[in-house]
Structure 1
């Protein structure tokens, strides 16, 4: 049995990951800002799930929340950095700068801070695993992906650099890079409540689902300790790579 801390556990990937890991016998600390959703998940999953209200962008709050963990949940074997978001799909010169700052604060600064707070204990024990949820947006540019893609490219490089720093410590690091994923609030948040536009994003695509990501996380955790998967990129079969854009003058 391992103790796994999953950020962003109130919906989407995080919720699916928490459900599957508890089902398989692990203890899960689920963090999120929405306390009511965490409590509902705790009622569903029972004593193996510990709801921890936390905003990863509030560093003092992160420290306070981690310090409040009961002894039975205090040794974190696996950190799943899942909390993150995209806001807007406008071109860079039309985007809302506040949206950019929110993505940077959540996707990079929040992820970096909680990792730094948990990592020393893993190194001291010579055991642990950090799994970051990146994105194919960090690998391939697309119109409107500007800062969101940049934050996920940061997560990719941060993960690789962690691997370099942690050589010899037996602490494993993986960046999971999903492509088009439905069944979450991702696009509803990106389009700021425009549910119709969010639904159109996935129409006819047979997109990856939260359970697919949860299965991937479980597989990573179950690998023997001498195996580190550096990066794993997933797309639905219906998604692939586009050609390079060429603008022609008329």
Structure 2
């Protein structure tokens, strides 16, 4: 599993960020530490986690964790909780695989998206939920979903379905936990240009990945979403930001995007 790089003294503002080896997850680790949080970064790739923690400094630590694996997640949660209480869980781990029509889509791609985007989020949330509710002032479950979970598009059925499910899970958790010391926040980004998301979706095809953002003036960056995360978590414990939908100015919807010629 890899060792935790120990952070400094335990903090009342201690967060766990999944999918922290790249993209929105890594940006959220940086932003939260800057805002005064102590952060435990979770992801599968230890080399990237180690580099991130060395960059950010002693307020961050890491645990190697595969959210699609029960034993790996359980062991990671035990390591996290051994280091102190957790006030926020930021679910950034997720991916899109393929962009094929329903008639010919890969069952393995769909299964992979559900295992990570839905079951992985559920697994880590269930395991940390009791501790989050014991945090001073209450805890927060924050989910990075997607506008794909709001508006479906051709070729995106599998990813959209997984993100619809993730958003519904967050909304139902919010309803089920009314009266408990818990906030549930859903942040749904539109077009965010990161190094890996589209590249993974298209199986490493750099040309197809680049075409997603071609001509779009100033698509969102991972740092933009990280700022939303930091702001939402920074509200008073009794203020729940139920949902944030954030897109670049050039994107009205998935099918209505301004591109410069």
Structure 1 residue 241: Cα displacement: 3.3
| Match of residue 221 from structure 1 | 233
Instruction: Label 1:44 to 1:243 Cα distance change in 2 as closer, same or farther (>3 A).
Output: closer
> RMSD in angstroms over aligned alpha carbons?
1.6
| Match of residue 104 from structure 1 | 114
Structure 1 residue 124: Cα displacement: 3.8
| Match of residue 182 from structure 1 | 193
Structure 1 residue 223: Cα displacement: 0.6
Equivalent positions of 1:22-61 (< 5 A) are 22-61=33-72
* TM-score, length-scaled by structure 1: 0.93
1:149-190 Cα offsets, whole Å, 9 max, x none, are: 011111111111111111111200011100011023110000
Aligned length in residues: 243
Where 1:56 maps in the other structure, the secondary structure is: coil
| Match of residue 135 from structure 1 | 146
Equivalent positions of 1:125-204 (< 5 A) are 125=135, 127-204=138-215
- Runs of 4+ deviating beyond 4 Å: none
Whole-Å separation in 1 of the counterparts to 2:146 and 2:38: 26
Whole-Å separation in 1 of the counterparts to 2:81 and 2:244: 33
Whole-Å separation in 2 of the counterparts to 1:133 and 1:195: 25
Whole-Å separation in 1 of the counterparts to 2:30 and 2:49: 12
C-alpha contact 2:153 2:254 (8 A) present in aligned 1: no
| Match of residue 233 from structure 1 | 245
Consecutive unaligned residues in structure 1, runs of 5 or more: 245-250
Consecutive unaligned residues in structure 2, runs of 5 or more: 1-11, 257-261
Equivalent positions of 1:53-132 (< 5 A) are 53-69=64-80, 71=82, 73-125=83-135, 127-132=138-143
Range with greater deviation from structure 2 (62-71 or 166-175):
62-71
Instruction: Label 1:79 to 1:151 Cα distance change in 2 as closer, same or farther (>3 A).
Output: same
| Match of residue 210 from structure 1 | 222
Instruction: Label 1:36 to 1:241 Cα distance change in 2 as closer, same or farther (>3 A).
Output: closer
C-alpha contact 1:181 1:207 (8 A) present in aligned 2: yes
1:55-82 Cα offsets, whole Å, 9 max, x none, are: 00011111111112374x4311000011
Instruction: Label 1:236 to 1:70 Cα distance change in 2 as closer, same or farther (>3 A).
Output: same
C-alpha contact 1:155 1:175 (8 A) present in aligned 2: no
Whole-Å separation in 2 of the counterparts to 1:43 and 1:175: 29
Structure 1 residue 22: Cα displacement: 1.1
Where 1:68 maps in the other structure, the secondary structure is: helix
Where 1:50 maps in the other structure, the secondary structure is: strand
Structure 1 residue 242: Cα displacement: 6.9
C-alpha contact 2:90 2:144 (8 A) present in aligned 1: yes
Whole-Å separation in 2 of the counterparts to 1:22 and 1:143: 38
C-alpha contact 1:13 1:184 (8 A) present in aligned 2: no
